[in-house]
Chains A and B, each alone.
Chain A
Amino acid sequence: MRAKIIRKEDIAGLLESLMGEYEMFAPVKSDGLVLFERISSASEVFLDYQNSLMPPKQLTFPQAETLFSYSSAKGEVKIEVPHREEKPQLIFGIRPCDASSFVVLDRVFDGEQYKDPYYLQRREKTITVSMGCVKPRITCFCTSVGGGPFSTEGSDLLLIDIGDRYVAQIVSDKGAQLLEKRGFRDATEGELALAAAVIEAAVASMGPGVETDGLKDKLDSRFDDSIWQRLSEKCLGCGVCTFLCPTCHCFDIVDEAVDSKGERIRIWDSCQFPLFTLQASGLNPRPTVKERFRQRMMHKFSYFVDNYSRVGCVGCGRCITECPVNLDLRQVLNSVSRLEGVK
């Protein structure tokens, strides 16, 4: 691998030097929560964390985004598009699962037939410096879904912590450019070997996760099985899993207006909400929590594969840790796979 060495004490300096050129986002500890926020100083960065609570999808796909505003007077309608920040955005310290989530979202928002200008406008100017996971959590299962604690997918630079310094793996030209002319030396063979050992240990530490062998076919053939009723029985039907998921991307568009002035706003929606498939006739093809819960599993592990040739999940585990009733996607998928466990 092409890699430079960045000593830990030099990170702050690097970030400060980039702050003029980039809008910088990094993990910040705020009220006990770790969130990705815009930082104006390297001292705000909090790296002693496992993963952020909210996923960084907000940075290319905000929860609420005004698409345009309008006003009408005397039969004339004026439309205004909000000012877009021109500076590129650097997301520092995201985890490999979250970095690859952007690649998953790209399938949807930057597809062959449909290109979402709002998403692309932010995505094109995004550069990611990821922090590999030396100690994955017990709820992480990136390795089950084609990822890994040091996967480079979606990253421009990947930092591998080998103690007092990082081996900074250069993944893309954008990443190479970040480190250019800043005097960082190449990693030695010895340092690369240390990095390889860290990576091996991290991968080995991961739990069994989800059995993905033949999972899609099993899900497809077991769609009508009565097991779904039992599996979804404790689900509250809230939106925590979808909102905290780095790859969930469903949205609604609302118009908010007073008299002749208004805004059209795109907001996150959730397939778990009862209105999601409610038709104007009053019919709802997903009338209960069972259908809606099953839908999320089917979408991520079957339909997404049909549409985009990959699973729509990066194994970050936020849906597991934050679900109010500890509904564990690993347990659900493994139960369907084996068709046992919950009767």
Chain B
Amino acid sequence: MAKIVVDVMLKPEILDPQGTAVGAALPRLGFTFAKSVRQGKRFEIEIDGDATAEQLAQVEKAAETLLANPVIETFTVRVEK
């Protein structure tokens, strides 16, 4: 069994008001480490056995078609041990 993780983020040029709001809230709580914050989505996909190259290609395709909107988002796919 393996876990494939797809991380989706808004493209850098797209306004991220939620990330901005989180970034503004941190110092109010005493956390001053952040220069900026952007918020994204994470999908965890469980599969049987190890992830084959073909499976990963399929996940990429699924990410492009459904999990992310390529007009405004980018994504990465990786296998988590």
Partners in one complex: no
Interface residues, chain B, CB within 8 Å of chain A? none
Interface residues, chain A, CB within 8 Å of chain B? none
